Amino acid sequence: MTKRDSFLDSSATSQIVIGQYGDASALTTVEATLPPPAAGEIRVRHTAIGVNYVDIYHRTGLYRLPSLPAVLGVEAAGIVEALGPDVDTVQVGQRIAYAGPPAGSYASARNLPAVRAIPLPDDVSDDAVASLLLRGITTHMLLAYVHPLKAGDTVLIHAAAGGLGLVLVQWAKAMGARIIGTVSSPAKAQLAIDHGLDHAINYREADFVAETMRLTDGQGVDYAIDGIGGKTLLDTLGCVRPYGMVASVGQVAGDSGPLDLSLLGPARSVALSRPGVFRFMTDLARYREGALATIQQLQAGLRPTIGAVLPLIEAAEAHRRLESGQTVGAILLRP
C-alpha cells in the first residue's frame, strides 16, 4: 500500500485567515472543519503551498477579495482526499496541483472546484510544481500570447533572480531568446546567469536603461517584462525598440500613476500591455494549457529554485521576507 493509498480522510484544517486588510500581522491561524465537498468539488490535503506577491496584494487590499474574513493563497499541491457528487476527473489519493482563484490555499486542506485540479505525473514533485505553477502559467501567457517570443529576440526581465524572473529566464532561453536581466546584488546576478541569463545589470550600481541600450547597440530590446512598477516601468519604456512591447505584470514599487501616451509614441512607437494572469485563467482551456506547458517545461529540465520552506503557521514571516526584496526564488509553506 502506498502512502497516498493509506491517506486518512479528515475534514479538519488549519487556515491562515485575514479578518481585515493590513500588514503581515493581520494574518491569523484558525482551526476549522470543512464541509463535505459540494457537487463538482474535491477536498485536497496540501503537501506544499506556494507564496506569491499577489497574496500580499490580497492581504493589503490592493486587490480586493470577494469578502472577509478570507483564507489567502492561490497555489498549492496536494493529495485528493474526498470527492463531491459528479466528480469523475480525479480520484481519491491522486496527486494534483492548482493555481489561481478562488483564494484559499494557505490551509492544511480545502475544498476546491474539481476543474481547477491538474493531475501530476510521477516525475514532477509537489514542491517543484507548488513553487512555480502560477509563475509558469504567467510565463506561458507572456511568451505565447502577450508577445509571441521568437528565437533571436532580445528580452529584458526585471528582478531576474526572483521567483517569476528565474522561470522567465529559463523558459525564454529554451525558446532561443537573448536575455538581459536586472538584479540587486552580485549573488543574484550569478544565480540568474546560472539559470541562463546572458547579461546581468545590477541596478544599484548602473543605470539599467543606459546599460540595456549599450548591450543592444542603441536599438533597444524586442520585449521587456516588468514586475516592479513605479518609476521602473516608466524608465523601461526607454529600453525598448520601436514597435517593441513592454508587459507590466506587477507593482512592487507602487503604481506608476497616470501614463501620458506621449511616452509611448509616436516618437518611441512602443506598445504597453497590462496582462492579468487571473483573467487569462478564467478560460479553463487556457488555464489547463498553461499548466500543461509548465509541467512539460519541468519535465524538460526547468529548474525550480526554492529559497525557503516555512511552516504554514509562519505565513506572516514568509510575507515579510517577500516584501523585503531579499528573497531568492520561491517561498513554500508546509502544512
Q: What is the mean pLDDT of the chain?
A: 93
* Residue-wise pLDDT tens digits, 150-178: 999 999 999 999 889 999 999 999 999 99
Do 184 and 317 belong to one domain? no
Do 142 and 40 belong to one domain? no
Please state, in angstroms and rounded to a whole number, the distance separating the CA atoms of residues 117 and 225.
28
Please say whether the beta carbons of 322 and 314 come within 8 A.
no
What is the pLDDT at residue 253? Answer: 66
What is the pLDDT at residue 265? Answer: 65
The contacts of residue 121 (CB under 8 Å, 6+ apart) are 295, 299
CATH number reported for the structural domain that contains residue 46 in this entry: 3.90.180.10
Do 26 and 105 belong to one domain? yes
Please state, in angstroms and rounded to a whole number, the distance separating the CA atoms of residues 27 and 8.
28
Do 85 and 165 belong to one domain? no
* Residue-wise pLDDT tens digits, 11-61: 999 999 999 999 999 999 999 999 999 999 999 999 999 999 999 999 999
Do 148 and 91 belong to one domain? no
Do 141 and 270 belong to one domain? yes
CATH number reported for the structural domain that contains residue 182 in this entry: 3.40.50.720
Please state, in angstroms and rounded to a whole number, the distance separating the CA atoms of residues 85 and 75.
24
Secondary structure element (H or E) that encloses residue 201, with its range: strand 199-202
* Residue-wise pLDDT tens digits, 261-295: 776 766 678 899 999 999 999 999 999 999 999 99
For residue 146, what are the domain limits?
A: 133-278
Do 240 and 159 belong to one domain? yes
Number of domains in the chain: 2
User: Is residue 135's pLDDT more than 60?
Assistant: yes
Which set of grid coordinates corresponds to residue 41? 468539488
- CA torsion angle for 91, 93, 97, 100 (degrees, to 10)? 60
Which of the four pLDDT bands, split at 50, 70 and 90, describes residue 1? very low
Note if the bond before 69 is cis, omega within 30 degrees.
Answer: yes
User: Is residue 307's pLDDT more than 50?
Assistant: yes
* Residue-wise pLDDT tens digits, 225-250: 999 988 899 999 999 999 999 999 98
Do 201 and 172 belong to one domain? yes
Do 229 and 163 belong to one domain? yes
User: Is residue 191's pLDDT more than 70?
Assistant: yes
Neighbours of 188 (CB within 10 A): 22
What is the pLDDT at residue 89? Answer: 94
Which of the four pLDDT bands, split at 50, 70 and 90, describes residue 256? low
Please state, in angstroms and rounded to a whole number, the distance separating the CA atoms of residues 72 and 42.
18
